[in-house]
Amino acid sequence: MDFSELYRRYSPAVHRFALYLTGQRGDAEDITAETFARVWTTSVPLELATVKAYLFTIARNLYLQGLRGRSRQLALEDDLLDPGPGPFAQVAQQELLHSTLQKLQELPEANRAALLMHAVDGMPYEEIAQVLKLSLPAVKVRIHRARLALAGVGK
């Protein structure tokens, strides 16, 4: 009997057996595939009277190896997980930052300078007015307009 005939005849039974062992369709498919891969690569001749038992033995051993492997795996504790944003959130943040920086560059220089001095450096309005040689109300208006212009970035 050639391998394709062996697979055609016994794979449903091996799959069903693996599914009953694991209770998981994906695991059963993996075990079935690995079972037939091992039969394909073995140099030991098969006796047709014991083929089904031989295949079930391989499938069961693969299942048991999987159980032993899983017992050595530990679930991650919640406090070990990375609290940072995932890759999609990081990309969204980068796009928002790029868009904001681009919009910031489009602002008039005095508005941009006033906003940066206040928002980034924490300078009080009075100091900004002295640096830019503007009145206090003019500084407040420039910062307000800059904020309004940037607020439209994420929309």
pLDDT at 74 over 60: no
132 and 114 Cβ atoms separated by less than 8 Å: yes
Q: Which pTM value belongs to this model?
A: 0.45
Residues of the chain with CATH 1.10.1740: 3-71
The predicted pLDDT at position 138 comes to 95
Let me know how many helices (H) and strands (E) the chain has, helices first: 7, 0
pLDDT at 153 over 70: no
Tell me the C-alpha distance between 27 and 22, whole Å: 7
* Phi, psi (deg, nearest 5) at residue 140: -60, -40
* pLDDT value at residue 48: 58
What's residue 14's pLDDT? Answer: 93
* pLDDT over 90 (residue 32): yes
Separation between Cα atoms, residue 93 and residue 85, nearest integer Å: 9
**CATH ID of 102-151, from 3.40.50.300, 1.10.10.10, 3.60.20.30, 1.20.1330.10:** 1.10.10.10
Question: Rounded distance, CA 45 to CA 22, Å?
Answer: 28
* pLDDT for the residue numbered 146: 92
- Under a CB-based contact definition with an 8 Å cutoff, are residues 114 and 142 in contact? yes
| Fold of the domain built from segment(s) 3-71 | Rna Polymerase Sigma Factor; Chain: A (1.10.1740)
Q: Are 57 and 35 in contact (CB under 8 A)?
A: no
Q: Where in the chain is the domain with CATH 1.10.10.10?
A: 102-151
